[in-house]
Amino acid sequence: MTKVLSELLGSSGGQPRTPGHLPHGLAVEVARSVIDDARARVEGGESVTEEAVLGDARRRAADIGRSLLQPVVNATGVIVHTNLGRAPLGPAALAAVGEVASGYSNLEFRLDRGTRGSRHEHAGSLLARACGAEAAMVVNNNAAAVMLVLAALARGREVIVSRGELVEIGGGFRVPDVMAESGARLVEVGTTNRTRRADYERAMSAETAMILRVHASNYRMVGFVESAPVESLAGLGPPVVVDIGSGLLDESTPWLAERPAWLQDEPGARQCLEAGAALVTFSGDKLLGGPQAGVIAGRADLVATVARHPLARAVRADKMALAALQSVAFAYLANDGDAIPLWRMAATPVSALRERAEAVAAAVPSAKVVDTEAVAGGGSLPGLTIPSCGVSIEVSDADAALGALRSAGIVARVDAGAMICDLRTVDPSDDTRLAAALATITR
């Protein structure tokens, strides 16, 4: 028991960047289970060596280490990778989180008057300014934002949605289900591929609470398709709410030196509001490049109504997300795309990635520099790729190679028998770590 215990207490299971060893209580529990298993095997007639028992203990410690929430290197080329935590935060946003969360803050307190304040006064009002909205509020995520808007503005009444937009976004966010949960009644109009203004107009009644447009995000319809632009719906009467999903604040990307071609017709919050949308909703951690959050921006009277709804309390954002978002909003207001890691990664010239790929490949026998295609991910821009560069290594057993890389905390992908590490999503400070791991597995 003592030996097994010291194995567990002293071992991090070879995992980088995880706590050095298991807490004592957990180690005792695991040690007991390791010894019980060994005893059962001995009683079953097997011979069990001490080394095998210690090996079992090490394996379990490693399993626990791998299950802990920890940083990984994203070499997949998917910039907003939902399984890998979506958008990374930059130093300023992280510092803001640290400052606000390590002590007390004016989260719901007005420093000017000494009275109770609202958590929507900080990041919310800055984000509103950044996208040209009268007001904005922040909730836990965009799914909650949509649900809350529907519940607060349309419960018991009708919401008109195009049949082409009754989509599933992934992770179980299905527009008809969200609608049902919110208590609003769905009125479907148009067809899967074509919906016109007249379809919405015909469906309007005294019961209509809103027109909802949902960005199809993770799929794309091509060919004989038509949808009614927000401009054409705004004059119909009911408020038009647009779930744009990705959180592109402004289609003209003034925070970048050059507008990326791959953004194509991704809808921007500012443009939807200018076109007459009463509200837009979007995620904080997709193309906005911030923490997990959902933003509701638009008409001040509607934002106020939504904020008063009881559900708002259940889906409110926490101070850490609000601190990070405030910092991200500042970066947008300063047109400083460099301060937002997502945009820095997205806008890195391929030539810079190639230079880094050459350095990585030089340190890894059998690695080749290859042109790759990165993607925005997170449901934005399906089918559109971002020219990128990385390294490729021919491997005989792709699954084993990917597994070995994962043990080193690196997630890559396999394409046609070769393992590909796309450098667009790798922080340059991780290049040496990536090269070292690749060199180890190809030895």
Ligand X SMILES: *Cc1c(COP(=O)(O)O)cnc(C)c1O
Is there a contact between 131 and 270 (Cβ–Cβ < 8 Å)? yes
Residue 34: both structure tokens together: 């390791």
**Segment lying near ligand X (by CB under 6 A), choices 34-42, 52-60, 198-206, 214-222:** 214-222
- Other C-beta atoms closer than 10 Å to the C-beta of 202 total 11
Q: Does 143 bind ligand X (CB under 6 A)?
A: yes
Stretch that binds ligand X, among 91-99, 241-249, 253-261, 400-408 (CB under 6 A): 241-249
CB 248 within 8 A of CB 268: yes
Q: How far is the CB of 167 from ligand X (least distance, A)?
A: 7
Q: Which of 142, 227, 253, 271 binds ligand X (CB under 6 A)?
A: 142
Which of the ranges 149-157, 209-217, 234-242, 391-399 carries the binding residues for ligand X, by CB under 6 A? 209-217
Task: Determine, following the binding rule CB under 6 A, whether residue 214 of this chain makes contact with ligand X.
Answer: yes
- Phi, psi at residue 50, to the nearest 5°? -60, -40
Instruction: Provide the edge-to-edge strand list for the sheet that holds 386-394.
Output: 78-80, 367-377, 386-394, 418-422, 413-415
Bridge partners of residue 372, in order along the sequence? 388
State both tokens at 169. Answer: 């976004």
When binding is defined by CB under 6 A, the residue of 169, 269, 278, 421 that contacts ligand X is 169
Residue 291 touching ligand X (CB under 6 A): no
> CA of 61: how far to CAs of 28, 71, 109, 218, in Å?
12, 18, 45, 38
6 vs 218, beta carbon nearer ligand X:
218
Minimum gap (Å) between residue 426 Cβ and ligand X = 24
User: Are 243 and 281 contacting, i.e. CB atoms less than 8 angstroms apart?
Assistant: yes
* Site membership for ligand X, residue 377 (CB under 6 A): no
Per the rule left: phi > 0, alpha: psi between -120 and 50, beta: everything else, 88 is: beta
- Could you give the string, one character per residue 122-141, with x where binding to ligand X holds by CB under 6 A and - elsewhere? -------------------x
Note whether 227 binds ligand X by CB under 6 A: no
Among 60, 81, 215, 424, binds ligand X (CB under 6 A): 215
Question: Total residues at the site for ligand X (CB under 6 A)?
Answer: 15
To ligand X, the closest distance from the beta carbon of 245 in angstroms equals 2
Contact characters 309-348, ligand X, x per CB under 6 A = ----------------------------------------
CB of 204 to ligand X, least distance (A): 24
Stretch in the footprint of ligand X (CB under 6 A) among 41-49, 220-228, 240-248, 257-265: 240-248
- Tell me: does residue 243 bind ligand X (CB under 6 A): yes
Among 298, 379, 390, 409, binds ligand X (CB under 6 A): 379
Q: Which residues pair with 389 in a beta bridge?
A: 371
**Cα–Cα separations (whole angstroms), residue 345 to 108, 120, 289, 340, 352:** 35, 30, 11, 9, 11
From the list 253, 221, 245, 224, the residue with the least C-alpha distance to 383 is: 221
- Compute the distance between CA of residue 319 and CA of residue 329 in angstroms, rounded to an integer: 15
Q: Which is nearer to ligand X, 27 or 146 (CB)?
A: 146
First to last CA, the chain: 37
162 binds ligand X (CB under 6 A): no
The verdict on 245 binding ligand X (CB under 6 A) reads yes
Measured distance CA(443)–CA(441) in Å, rounded: 6
283 is a contact residue toward ligand X (CB under 6 A): yes
Between 293 and 401, name the residue whose CB sits nearer to ligand X: 293
Binding site for ligand X (CB under 6 A): 141-143, 146, 169, 173, 214-215, 217, 243, 245-246, 283, 294, 379
